[in-house]
Amino acid sequence: MARPSDLSMHNRRDRLDPLPELGALSARAPLFEADLTDGPTPSMGWLVTGPEEVRAVLGDTERFSTAPPADGSRPVQPGNLIQYDPPDHTRLRQLLTPEFTVRRMSRLRPAVDAVVADCLDTLEKAGQSADFMRYVAWPLPGLVMSELFGVPRDDRAELARVLKVSRPAFRGRQVQMTAGAAYLSYVDQLVTRKRRDPGDDLLGRLVRDHGDDISHEELVGLTAFVIGSGVENMASMLGLGILALLENPTQLAQLRQCPHLIDQAVEELIRYLSIIPTASPRTAREDVPLGGRVIKAGDRVACSLFAANRVRPPGTPPDRLDISREPAAHVGLGHGIHYCIGASLVRMELTSAYLAVLDRFPELRCAVPPEEIRFRPQAPYGVETLPVAW
């Protein structure tokens, strides 16, 4: 697992807040040259922190590419939407878009509410000082994704296990690679079964309606990408969101008194936490003037979503969590063609879970002192464990 000191400055934070160094650099210029690599070998490029400049880069697919460099420094993953440029990105995303509409997700709400209730039952049975991450934050999104993609019930526990172990924050590299291979193998088998017998689930509908428009390899990769990111990102948001509310008791009390603020609260937490600190790196296709500098063709560019959402100009009050804030434009879910395709599902899951947690446990609190909470530094940012009492 990466240690905080191994990470680049723009991928580190002080618990829930940006490092002062990130604010100081952002105050000087909206972009600057920096080491973009989280590792021992430096790789220089441009770090973009200004909100307008971040949106300019993320929204410009003509001049900035997300495809992995030709030097092989990043492995190519078929079906991973983040690595695709138009027109292939457009082709694949259009297959998924109808499945993630607000209307389609609203039909899933009863199933999500039932999963949330089951997870909270398990947490309550575990007793005081139970780990919220173990009993709620990790299993909940895995069960929701299994429901969405038609994973057989008998397979769900094993899928959750290999998926969790395959994530970089949890085990050594060899164990991670073995689990990752097992995860992809399972998804391959799932897609093969769905091609033979598509059901009335997201994957079944993709096969039935678009089976000839996507290769088997792409469909396996696309399924693995959506499930994997949907589970890990949601687990981080669930854990960090509860922690942020517990560490801001005034905001927590306001949400308890005014549950109708839940939509604003969810939007504010997505902005405030920015669990993906830096967007997937881009490569400039041509010389691009930006923020008073010139990004040269071939330069690597990283956009700090955390800085764009949280760093404030000098002389202004520091950023604070405010669930009554009128929803403002943020990049917590990305921007441009790579904006989170599951945004409606993200909001619905968080709304269901946060409301249910506060309703079930009106005296919820952290069961350990703040200094004992261990954060998981590698993206998505989160907590390793979150012992809670009630």
Quote helix, strand, coil % in the chain, to nearest 5.
55, 10, 35
pLDDT tens readout for residues 285-341: 999 999 999 999 999 999 999 999 999 888 788 899 999 988 788 999 999 999 999
Structure token pair of residue 221: 């990769």
CATH superfamily of this structure's domain 4-389: Cytochrome P450 (1.10.630.10)
Per-residue pLDDT of the chain (390 residues), as tens digits, is: 445 455 677 788 999 999 988 888 888 999 999 888 766 667 889 999 999 999 999 999 999 999 987 776 677 889 999 999 999 999 999 999 999 999 999 999 999 999 999 999 999 999 999 999 999 999 999 999 999 999 999 888 878 777 766 665 445 566 667 777 888 999 999 999 999 999 899 999 999 999 888 999 999 999 999 999 999 999 999 999 999 999 999 999 999 999 999 999 999 999 999 999 999 999 999 999 999 999 999 999 999 999 999 998 887 888 999 999 887 889 999 999 999 999 999 999 999 999 999 999 999 999 999 999 999 888 899 999 999 999
Each domain of the chain, given as residue ranges in start order, spans 4-389
> How crowded is the C-beta side of 354, counted as CA atoms within 13 Å?
32
Measured CA to CA, the distance from residue 353 to residue 119 in angstroms comes to 10
